Structure 1
Amino acid sequence: MLDDVEAVVLVGGKGTRLRPLTLSAPKPMLPTAGVPFLAHLLSRIRAAGVRRVVLGTSYLASTFEEHFGDGESLGLELTYVVEEAPLGTGGGIANVAEHLTSENVMVFNGDVLCGTDLGAVVNTHRHTDADVTLHLVRVQDPRAYGCVPTDDDGRVLAFLEKTEDPPTDQINAGCYVFKRSVLEEIPRGRVVSVERETFPGLLERGARVSGHVDNAYWRDMGTPGDLVHGSADLVRGVAPSAALPGPVGESIVLEGADVAKDAFVFGGTAVGRDVVVGEGAKVEGSMLFDGAVIAAGAIVESSVIGAGARIEAGAHVRDAVIGDRAVVGAHCELKGGMRIWPDVQLPPHGIRFSADV
């Protein structure tokens, strides 16, 4: 149990490339597997035994407090601290420092979906008597990320930029444990990057920076594709969460949704409230926001369908984002990252990718 550890979650940046297609709130509040994305992280923090969480918020900060309140319903004590201007990860941490009291503080990037054992990360921090401990995750292709090599004793050696020939497959997973005394040294009132300033500075002065390395589930939810796949992984139980509004499986269907008996809804699809899925429709691995309509015979794959949007009969939508209240006309075919703006109406047969006419 981590009842002697406090947590900081940095949330509320403008974030995802879905904006402004389907967003009226920060990305951590997007319905993901049936609940706001942030609820999944808070549930895992609570399950690890942490009781007090400080949310460092900026963009649309009031949205978080309106939804989560004081945290009592989650078994948490929530404190909200607002950034008047963007401060970066380090600046955001410094902005909440005066609200912390425990010796060790876990810090989370609110845009990451991760399944690591939080208790194990803290144990590594304590066992190595580290000033800061980073959760490092191994990825198949580290070229898209900066990497973090460690020695045989788990000591972080460097913070390296992206390269075509990375020396390790370990990357920063966006979860840290700080000694509070170290956290309080971060400069306040200005933009600070922990990756480019705080952590390299600690190495330069000989501080102990430890790495907790594992192969846990990890996904940066920075793109619509990652958001869709992360939601599907939550629904199917591939990514852990105690906040799901129903059992894991092929789909989660919220109250008020009407799914035809012969419709195929699978692959980790999240079906929002008052959604209609018509006869013979096929929906795979997608996010259907409240009030969306998938007409008879339509196909939706790995896509986000915004609130109140309509996919008409026979249309095929794949790897796309359909904005709130937009209409995709009958037998249209959209794929490959297409974005349809809110309230846009595509006529029947208006867009096709197939060779047929």
Structure 2
Amino acid sequence: MKALVLAGGAGTRLRPITHTSAKQLVPVANKPVLFYGLEAIAAAGVREVGMVVGDTHEEIESAVGDGSAFGLEVTYLRQDAPLGLAHAVLIARDYLGDDDFVMYLGDNFIVGGIETLVDRFRAERPAAQIMLTRVADPRQFGVAELDARGRVVALEEKPIEPKSDLALVGVYLFTPDVHDAVASLKPSWRGELEITDAIQWLIDQDRRVESSVISGYWKDTGNVTDMLEVNRLVLDGLERGLHGVIGDECEIIGRVVVETGAEVVRSRVVGPVVIGAGAVVRDSYVGPYTSVAENCQIVDSEIEYSILLRRASIIGVRRIEASLIGHDVEVTPAPNTPRAHRLVLGDHSKVQISS
């Protein structure tokens, strides 16, 4: 069995962060989301990975390399434009050959891995096996309709009037039968080759399609709210480890990781929190569910329930929460006079100001 990992999307919902960074590399607990997926694939016993990449291919390839750090062999497959999940299968046809494969969306996060799912597929080998989870608003997802026996009878991509609340999670398993399905597709109203249409073709051709409804945690980390929630979840499993420099006047409470080379001076840190190598926290408060990446600075400030990317600095700011702060960002107080907001913002930015 091989794996097909999709890491070519534009990440429009995470702009402006993704104007300069691949969405799959935005960190959760100081580790890129994509890495959690690669670790799950390796844990399931899959070794050969085809990674579909697009405009951010250089960044993805630099971070993942040849895959050996994960116990994998990674081959990169270029996709000129994000034309749908089934299009990714189409361009990977030669790489996949006649092997079964698991398709994994690189910006998805699944607690508990995929070992059970892969083991079941290997034992039963349906034409396709999908993961489903109940969601509050199915209109944002591919939606499955099941019969009384729990078999998949119909699929629809982002329906206006969903027939169920069962959304497709970003992990799919296929036999080579799916290539016949993909070859028969025409672009949807969105101009994409939909994987839901390919699976529906298999159903219409009386090929067996199985599903598993997962009760564990799954998130598509496509927006800031979901990123912060996944960060919270991962940090909940943190084990305390103080490896950096901790000053005598510090108060460190709970599950806090201070990595080697980090420094905490005259500050209060309440876990779960991770402070990356080379980061400096001075005269500050860092509250629960905060990830501080490498070489950040937090000075005379307060921050909680947030993610700071590499080399960000927060100096003299009284309170920040529920925020995603990008690479090399500088956050400082505005001058007291005149009373005005001075902003330098990139395209598609979102700002909330308390006046």
> Is the TM value for this pair above 0.5?
yes
Q: Residue 273 of structure 1 corresponds to which residue in structure 2?
A: 277
In structure 2, the residue matched to 1:173 is 169
Find the counterpart in structure 1 of residue 94 from structure 2.
Answer: 98
Tell me the distance in 2 between the aligned counterparts of 1:266 and 1:22. Answer: 28
Within the alignment, does 1:214 sit opposite 2:218 as a pair?
A: no
Q: Show the counterpart of 1:264.
A: 269
Q: 1:13 to 1:141 in 2, by over 3 A?
A: closer
1:314–1:331 Cα contact (<8 Å) kept: no
User: CA separation in 2, counterparts of 1:276 and 1:331?
Assistant: 24
Secondary structure class of the residue paired with 2:153: coil
1:130 Cα deviation after fit: 1.7
Please name the residue that 1:20 is paired with. 16
Q: What percentage of aligned pairs have identical amino acids?
A: 29
Task: Tell me the residue number matched to 2:330.
Answer: 326
CA RMSD of aligned residues (A): 3.2
1:150 to 146, 153, 160: 146
C-alpha distance after superposition, 1:312-357 (max 9, x if no partner): 335211223334332231799xxxxxx9748xxxxxxxx9738xxx
Q: CA deviation at 1:73?
A: 2.5
**In the aligned structure 1, how far is the partner of 2:29 from the partner of 2:294?**
12
Q: Is the Cα contact below 8 Å between 2:30 and 2:292 reproduced in 1?
A: no
In 2, the alpha carbon distance for the partners of 1:62 and 1:228 equals 26
Q: Is the 1:253–1:271 Cα contact (8 Å) retained in structure 2?
A: yes
Q: Distance in 2 between matches of 1:180 and 1:276?
A: 52
* Residue 305 in structure 1 maps to residue 308 in structure 2: yes
Kindly indicate whether residue 3 of structure 2 is the aligned counterpart of residue 7 of structure 1.
yes
- Structure 1 residues 153 and 101: alpha-carbon distance in aligned structure 2, compared to 1, 3 A threshold: farther
Q: What residue number does 2:61 align with?
A: 65
Gaps of 5+ in 1: 239-244, 333-338, 343-350
**Please, which of 50, 70, 73 is the counterpart of residue 74 of structure 1?**
70
Query: More deviation in 157-166 or 174-183?
Result: 157-166
Provide closer, same or farther for how the CA distance between residues 320 and 265 of structure 1 changes in structure 2, counting only shifts above 3 A: same
Per the alignment, residue 182 of structure 1 pairs with 178
Q: String of CA shifts for 1:260-303, please: whole Å, max 9, x gaps.
A: 36421423x3433322222341333233333322223x221222
Q: Match of 1:194?
A: 195
Q: Which stretch shows the higher mean deviation, 119-128 or 214-223?
A: 119-128
User: In the alignment, what sits opposite 2:250?
Assistant: none
Task: Name the aligned partner's letter for residue 312 of structure 2.
Answer: A
Structure 2 letter corresponding to 1:311:
I
1:157 alignment partner, SS class: strand
> Which amino acid is 2:202 matched to?
L
Give the distance between the partners of 2:153 and 2:25, measured in 1 at CA.
Answer: 36
The question of whether the paired residues in 2 share the 8 Å contact of 1:132 and 1:210 is answered with yes
1:353 counterpart letter in structure 2: S
1:18 to 1:182, Cα distance in 2 relative to 1, 3 A: closer
